[in-house]
Amino acid sequence: MYIYPAIDLYGGQAVRLTRGDYSQMTVYDNDPVGVAKRFCKAGAEKLHIVDLEGAKDGSTANYAMIAEILKATPLKAEIGGGIRSLDTVEKYISAGAERVILGTAAIEDPAFLRAAACEYGDHIAVGVDVKDGFVAVRGWTEVSGRECFDFCRELESIGIKTVISTDISKDGMESGTNRDLYARLRDELSMNIIASGGISTLDDLAAVRDLGVYGAIVGRVLYTGAMNLTDALAVARERG
């Protein structure tokens, strides 16, 4: 299983939200490039970056910082937040992103979703952020009418290979992750499932690993010191 240490960007700083609430934002570091370099030094191969301003308003407000991170490290990064056009997809891939994550646009613009899947193939992932069983959009500020599993099956049918799924109620709470959600996604889909939200201990990480998912995103606990990234990477490599 791959570990994706997370950098959420707002105003060029590394921050974390609690349950997607922009009014509950904690700034952890004003040097996101330095954060990425530390992740790399600890042994990470992957990186998860979200432009929180982009997620909210569709901009690429933190593009310059993201491009700097991609240039400064060899980490294979997936980028999300505000990716709502083929031009923006191309912009991030040209900057060195391994994968871009479609969120709001995947729900609201099916033609764009299909065009991106056709044009960029495995470079496209979709973020399926779940609130009360439905997919949330616009930086988690709104809930769509799309049921999570129905939407995922539709994604699979058009060729999307990777889904990043977050149970919003767990994100930033350090209270454990939604194992039932990831087990069901694993059972019902033939896709790469990346688990996100609520991973707070190495035991949580081991439980997710044992579900057989492709990857896990680890965020707040790396910034608070509650989890050591080197230890997390070691757990991910173990067999359950």
Exposed, middle or buried by CB within 10 Å (0-12, 13-18, 19+), for 217? buried
Q: Which of these is catalytic: 57, 87, 129, 203? A: 129
Q: Report pTM.
A: 0.91
Sign of CA dihedral 112, 114, 119, 124: positive
- pLDDT by 10s per residue, the chain, length 240: 999 999 999 999 999 887 677 888 899 999 999 999 999 999 999 999 999 998 888 889 999 999 999 999 999 999 999 899 999 999 999 999 999 999 888 998 999 999 999 999 999 999 998 888 888 877 656 777 789 999 999 999 999 999 999 877 555 445 567 788 899 999 999 999 999 887 889 999 999 999 999 999 999 899 999 999 999 999 999 865
Q: Please state, in angstroms and rounded to a whole number, the distance separating the CA atoms of residues 5 and 173.
A: 16
Options 3.30.930.10, 3.20.20.70, 3.90.1510.10, 1.20.1740.10; CATH of 2-237 = 3.20.20.70
129 among known catalytic residues: yes
pLDDT at res. 31: 97
> In this structure, are residues 7 and 40 in contact, taking their beta carbons and an 8 Å threshold?
no
Instruction: Map out the domains of the chain as residue ranges.
Output: 2-237
The identity of residue 93, as a single letter, is I
8 among known catalytic residues: yes
